[in-house]
Amino acid sequence: MAGSKYAYVRNFELPDPLLPRTFMVLRLDGHSFHRFSDEHDFTKPNDIRALKLMDHAAKDLMEQYPDVVLAFGESDEFSFLIRKSASLYNRRQSKIVSTLTSLFTSSYVFRWATYFPDRPLKYPPSFDGRLVLYPGAQEIRDYFSWRQTDTHINNLYNTTFWALVQQGGETTTQAHTTLKGTVSKEKNEILFSRFHINYNTLDAQFRKGSILVREEISEEPVPDTSTTADTSTENDTTTSPASSLPKMRGRTKPRTKVVVLHCDIIKDKFWDARPEILSS
In this structure, the number of other CB atoms found within 10 A of the CB of residue 37 comes to 18
- On whether 76 is known to bind a ligand per the annotation, the reply is yes
- Kindly state whether residue 22 participates in binding a second copy, applying the rule CB under 8 A: yes
Q: Residue 60 or 234: which CB sits closer to a second copy?
A: 60
Of 98-137, binders to a second copy (CB under 8 A) are: 98-99, 101-103, 105-111, 121-136
Instruction: Give the one residue of 49, 93, 179, 256 binding a second copy; rule: CB under 8 A.
Output: 93
- Kindly state whether residue 17 participates in binding a second copy, applying the rule CB under 8 A: yes
Angle of helix 48-64 relative to helix 93-110, nearest 10 degrees?
Answer: 130
Task: Write the binding mask 191 to 220 for a second copy: x where contact by CB under 8 A, - elsewhere.
Answer: ------------------------------
Q: How many residues bind a second copy (CB under 8 A)?
A: 72
- On whether 129 is known to bind a ligand per the annotation, the reply is no
Determine the Cα–Cα distance for residues 132 and 216; give it in Å rounded to an integer. Answer: 28
From residue 90, alpha-carbon distances to 68, 94, 120, 202 in Å are 15, 11, 39, 43
CA dihedral 83, 89, 90, 91 (to 10 degrees): -50
Of 144-163, binders to a second copy (CB under 8 A) are: 145-146, 149-150, 152-153
- On whether 56 is known to bind a ligand per the annotation, the reply is no
100 contacts: CB under 8 Å, gap ≥ 6: 26, 28, 61, 65, 68, 80, 129
Q: Which stretch binds a second copy (CB under 8 A): 17-25, 188-196, 229-237, 252-260?
A: 17-25
- On whether 30 is known to bind a ligand per the annotation, the reply is yes
Q: Which stretch binds a second copy (CB under 8 A): 35-43, 217-225, 232-240, 269-277?
A: 35-43
3-state secondary structure of 69: strand
In this structure, the number of other CB atoms found within 10 A of the CB of residue 190 comes to 20
Determine the Cα–Cα distance for residues 239 and 259; give it in Å rounded to an integer. Answer: 6
CB of 192 to a second copy, least distance (A): 19
From residue 11, alpha-carbon distances to 14, 92, 97, 254 in Å are 7, 16, 22, 41
CB of 85 to a second copy, least distance (A): 12
- On whether 47 is known to bind a ligand per the annotation, the reply is no
| Percent composition of the chain: helix, strand, coil (DSSP 3-state, to 5) | 45, 15, 40
Residue 134 main-chain phi, psi, to 5 deg: -130, 130
- Kindly state whether residue 41 participates in binding a second copy, applying the rule CB under 8 A: no
Of 218-277, binders to a second copy (CB under 8 A) are: 244-246, 248
* Strand order across the beta sheet in which 23-30 lies: 127-134, 23-30, 77-82, 68-74, 210-216, 256-261
Q: Residue 19 or 229: which CB sits closer to a second copy?
A: 19
CB of 218 to a second copy, least distance (A): 27
Q: Residue 32 or 238: which CB sits closer to a second copy?
A: 32
Q: Residue 31 or 194: which CB sits closer to a second copy?
A: 31
In the annotated binding site for GTP, the residues are: 29-34, 75-76
